[in-house]
Amino acid sequence: MVNLSSFPLVSLVLIYLSAPGAILVLCAEEFSRNDFPPDFVFGSGTSAYQVEGAAFEDGRTPSIWDTFAHDGNVHGDTGDIACDGYHKYKEDIQLMVETGLEAYRFSIAWSRLIPNGRGPVNPKGMEYYNNFIDELIRNGIQPHVTLVHSDLPQALEDEYGGWISRKVVKDFTAYADVCFREFGDRILHWSTFNEANIFVLGGYDVGITPPSRCSPPFGAPNCSKGNSSSEPYIAAHNILLAHASAASLYKNKYQVLFVNPLVFGDYPNIVKKNAGTRIPAFTNLESQQIKGSFDFLGLNHYATLYIKDNPNKLKMDIRDFNADMAADMIPMHGDTPPDQFPITPSGLVGVLEYFKQVYGNPPIYIHENGQQTRRNSTLDDMPRVNYLCGFIGGLLDALRNGSNSRGYFTWSFLDVFELLDGYNSAFGLYYVDFDDKDLKRYPKRSAHWYSNFLKGMRIGPDAVFEAETISSLSQSHSSQ
């Protein structure tokens, strides 16, 4: 199936054990894994640049994320080593088994598999992904694969501008063909792009993510090239065409997120009206190719925003995508600490209901959902436990109301290099000690909770979770 720093720091780490104890878990109603359909899949995920490391090993070449991070754009952090998943994948898969994961979502690094973006395949890259996939399956874990998680090979960005050129469609399709041919006998769930909407806005409108393109008066002050008014639309258009091309290849030869074109074959009328000639048009053939070019949709959901109408934005002489929306987005924080997301399961339920009513209730996998905390916080991560409990309970409500949801993946399995915050924030079920040469993993309370849920433990509004012995960790930083 196809989806679519200036001063040196010394880190002082203290690890200690806390006694087992009883803690209150806040859920709206009682439920367990057994309340979900047997074929509904629960998992967790990461992505290649964020977890693999081995950035300069075995033939891998830079992606646009390597370039962006090495330019100092993420607090000086990089994914050069990350969690060293490239070398520690067997250890990590055993953690997945112990946790009880039914599925694991990961991405393939295009520049590890095809170093020049096109042309010869890297045997070492092929060997790694084959071994990784085989190890997952050998341990009873269903692999779900994303082809591009924001990490276009730098070679293609240098050659023709990457996603703002139609040339990328052909190269992406050839890359997808290699993946389908070499791994498709074991991979049943493919996603073409992760968060394509966030990628084009961050990379081509406001310039805060690679390839860091934008133009005044919009975006980051350090953008040296780009056009915020038109390039987000061009990049999105080419991503849709690339998706459709790969989906057609998959369906015709081997057996997807921009929903309106995928379902109806064109952009919404209001989008075409507000963007005008800045948004490319589909030919009739392209429209036919894109329409219905998915077997399921992948949905990433973290938080809910208020939307307020602001038609004055349409009076601006120069507009970007955000102005074209003619709306203001207002965060919902309330009493939630600023470094965490509010727990608003009703937002996810509402989105799933919208998909049901407007888009014909397509199959949906919740590909990312997770709570952000600061990386130097305790392993006793009750905010994450309550977040997962709330959202999984909300998802169950949506299923009972007819949602065609098929799976749920927490973000993230490990504390990884976060694409918007480096190593300052964390989403993982497992803490990774980046100051330890072996990058040892430690389970957080959320890992124990998720494991117990997956193994049939019932959770209720007044449930008391009998915690196993949990390693708690505090970390302080001082400069010298």
Q: Which residues are the active-site residues?
A: 195, 368
Q: Which residues pair with 374 in a beta bridge?
A: 425
d(CA 99, CA 441): 13
Q: Tell me, what amino acid is at 57? A: E
Q: Tell me, what amino acid is at 433? A: D
d(CA 256, CA 147): 10
d(CA 190, CA 9): 41
d(CA 448, CA 169): 43
Q: Which residues pair with 189 in a beta bridge?
A: 144
By DSSP bridging, strand 103-107 and strand 41-45 are: parallel
- Beta-strand runs (E) in 264-404: 297-300, 305-309, 327-331, 364-368, 373-374
CA dihedral sign of residues 304, 310, 311, 317: negative
d(CA 90, CA 141): 13
Residues 163, 152: contact at Cβ < 8 Å?
Answer: yes
Q: Can you tell me which residue has the tokens 């964020």?
A: 50
Q: Which residues pair with 327 in a beta bridge?
A: 309
What's the token pair of residue 117? 């973006």
